[in-house]
């Protein structure tokens, strides 16, 4: 007998009590004369961001009388109190059914169950490169289900144009070709790797990475969204963070070791996602690693960022899968050696030889982007900014292994922002690697007392 959504939520255990996501069981709604929703609990609905076959997304502002940040939301990160509210009709979701085959067993699933699984996955997520779910409003007396999500103002990083079969950037700064330069793309790729590292370390594979599911924040960072087909491997051992990140001065080594052999983990038999982003092993009728398939899809995204084109495309699914399995990729002549090399590493047909997230983050193509991200440098003005190196070795706190890259600015302003940028850099490391910054700060106090121990961590590997 299949379990109810409420019973399935129980299997996530600690999430129910420790999740930052607020669960609300009462929905108070107000409508305009046309039947459109204008108020929902503490939210004022401002506009429609988008709509699909069974969901509508509204832009809403949290009322000024209730501007308290959600748990897990950085203080001051959302001064306008704006959120994306996804509205779904439960009755419609329950009528939408799909059948899947596992061996000889046929299983019927409803869209409502898929949404419930998506919510369960998102309750586990808290990372700056992943779109956060802040609140679920589910009233038994209301047919609507509301998901209050982080609002990412610039939306999809790129959109696909079917008339030209190409992707165009959506930030308002499109070149004639519509794609990004290698500098911007490297920063987006580093963000993508950090987000994926967090997902995979929490035994979640995304399964549908593509530019449409990568949102661009106003500060130039990207955030992964749409966890509708993501999978949580509940039977995998949950490795404590302190076990994963005990590498000391070479903390990035622990990421390498933890993710190096993940092509042998996270085995799936059912394919999901968008065909053009499938890995070669997904095109075969054999089990495959969801983790390794995610890394391949990230490589396709990087290729799209810098070319605006898909490396594999055909209207015929059979021909498309054949192209993917052969993986004969054409690299533009003006592409840098570093970029071509990292693409060849990530788009390796053999998943056992495909680069790990740790390997990719340590590739020379990502060096400058990692340093910028660790320092809090925003990506939007990177191309036009002058760089200068700032040494912080004399600080009597945690020493960042790589010097921070900062934009050229008036000295007074630069110095006044130094502490904030270092703080942001440490927070970036905390989120990307799961480091306990509070624990590091406690150790710093001990360091000041004895003046002997030296604590070092890698700024963004």
pLDDT at residue 76, as a whole number: 74
C-alpha to C-alpha distance for 146 and 338, rounded to whole angstroms: 44
What kind and span of H or E run contains 415? helix 411-433
- pLDDT per residue of the chain (461 residues) written in tens, 0 to 9: 444 544 444 433 334 445 789 999 999 999 999 999 999 999 999 999 998 878 999 999 999 766 677 887 877 778 889 999 999 999 999 999 887 666 567 788 899 999 999 999 999 999 999 999 999 999 999 999 999 999 999 999 999 999 999 999 987 655 456 899 999 999 999 999 999 999 999 999 999 999 999 999 988 999 999 999 999 987 765 444 333 333 333 334 444 444 555 555 666 777 888 999 999 999 988 889 999 999 999 999 999 999 999 999 999 999 999 999 999 999 999 999 999 999 999 999 999 999 999 999 999 999 999 999 988 765 545 434 323 222 333 323 332 232 223 333 333 333 333 343 333 343 443 443 343 444 434 443 343 344 333 322 233 33
43 closest CA partner among 55, 28, 25, 22: 28
Write out the two tokens for 127.
């990372």
Contacts of 181 (CB under 8 A, 6+ apart): 175, 306, 383
Would you say 391 and 361 are in contact if contact means Cβ atoms under 8 Å apart?
no
pLDDT of amino acid 253? 42
Q: What six digits make up the tokens of 333?
A: 């002549």
CATH of 155-461, one of 3.90.190.20, 3.90.1150.10, 1.10.3720.10, 1.10.510.10: 1.10.510.10
Per-residue model confidence (pLDDT) at position 435: 39
pLDDT the model gives residue 32 = 94
* Both tokens assigned to 316: 């015929």
DSSP string, 91-130: HHHHH-EEEEEETTEEEEEEHHHHHHHHHHHHTT---TTB
198, 130 Cβ separation under 8 angstroms: yes
- CA 284 to CA 358: how far, in whole Å? 27
Residue 459 pLDDT: 30
pLDDT in the model for residue 101: 62
pLDDT of the residue at 300 = 98
To the question of pTM greater than 0.85 for the whole model, the response is no
What are the residue ranges spanned by the domains of the chain? 5-150, 155-461
Confidence at residue 263, expressed as pLDDT on a 0 to 100 scale: 55
Other CB atoms within 10 Å distance of the CB of residue 101 = 10
CATH topology of domain 5-150: Phosphorylase Kinase; domain 1 (3.30.200)
Predicted confidence at residue 173, as pLDDT, reads 58
C-alpha to C-alpha distance for 75 and 10, rounded to whole angstroms: 30
pLDDT at 237: 56
C-alpha span between 284 and 287 (Å, rounded): 8
Same fold, 5-150 and 155-461: no
| Structure confidence at residue 429 (pLDDT) | 36
Residue 73 pLDDT: 82
Backbone angles phi, psi at 310, to 5 degrees: -85, 135
């Amino acid at each position: 007998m299949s379990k109810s959504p409420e019973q399935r939520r129980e299997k996530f255990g600690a999430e129910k009590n420790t999740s930052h996501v607020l669960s609300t069981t009462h929905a108070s709604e107000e409508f305009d004369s046309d039947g459109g929703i204008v108020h929902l609990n503490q939210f004022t609905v401002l506009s429609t961001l988008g709509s699909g076959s069974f969901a509508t997304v509204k832009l809403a502002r949290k009322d000024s009388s209730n501007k308290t940040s959600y748990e897990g939301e950085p203080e001051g990160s959302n001064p306008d109190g704006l959120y994306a509210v996804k509205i779904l009709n439960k009755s419609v979701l329950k009528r939408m059914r799909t059948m899947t085959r596992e061996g000889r067993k046929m299983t019927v699933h409803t869209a409502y169950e898929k949404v419930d699984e998506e919510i369960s996955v998102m309750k586990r997520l808290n990372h700056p490169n992943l779109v956060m779910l802040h609140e679920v409003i589910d009233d038994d007396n209301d047919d609507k289900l509301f998901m209050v999500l982080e609002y990412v103002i610039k939306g999809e990083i790129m959109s696909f144009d079917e008339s030209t079969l190409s992707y165009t950037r959506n930030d308002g700064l499109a070149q004639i070709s519509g794609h990004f330069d290698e500098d911007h793309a490297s920063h987006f790729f580093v963000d993508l790797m950090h987000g994926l590292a967090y997902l995979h370390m929490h035994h979640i594979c995304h399964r549908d990475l593509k530019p449409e599911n990568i949102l661009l924040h106003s500060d130039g960072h990207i955030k992964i969204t749409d966890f509708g087909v993501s999978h949580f491997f509940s039977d995998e051992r949950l490795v404590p963070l302190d076990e994963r990140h005990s590498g000391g001065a070479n903390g990035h080594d622990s990421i390498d070791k933890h993710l190096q052999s993940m092509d042998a983990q996270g085995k799936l038999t059912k394919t999901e996602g968008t065909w053009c982003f499938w890995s070669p092993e997904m095109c075969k009728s054999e089990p495959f690693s969801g983790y390794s398939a995610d890394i391949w899809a990230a490589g396709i995204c990087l290729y799209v960022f810098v070319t605006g084109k898909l490396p594999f495309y055909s209207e015929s699914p059979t021909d498309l899968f054949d192209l993917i399995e052969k993986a004969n990729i054409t690299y533009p002549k003006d592409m840098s050696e570093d970029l071509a090399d990292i693409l060849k590493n990530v788009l390796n047909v053999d998943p056992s030889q495909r680069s790990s997230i740790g390997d990719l983050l340590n590739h020379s193509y990502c060096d400058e982007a990692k340093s910028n991200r660790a320092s809090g440098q925003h990506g939007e003005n990177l191309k036009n900014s002058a760089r200068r190196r700032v040494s912080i070795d004399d600080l009597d706190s945690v020493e960042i292994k790589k010097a921070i890259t900062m934009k050229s600015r008036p000295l007074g302003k630069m110095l006044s922002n130094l502490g904030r940028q270092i703080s942001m850099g440490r927070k970036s490391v905390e989120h990307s690697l799961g480091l306990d910054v509070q624990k590091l700060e406690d150790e710093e106090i001990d360091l000041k007392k004895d003046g002997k121990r030296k604590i070092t961590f890698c700024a963004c590997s």
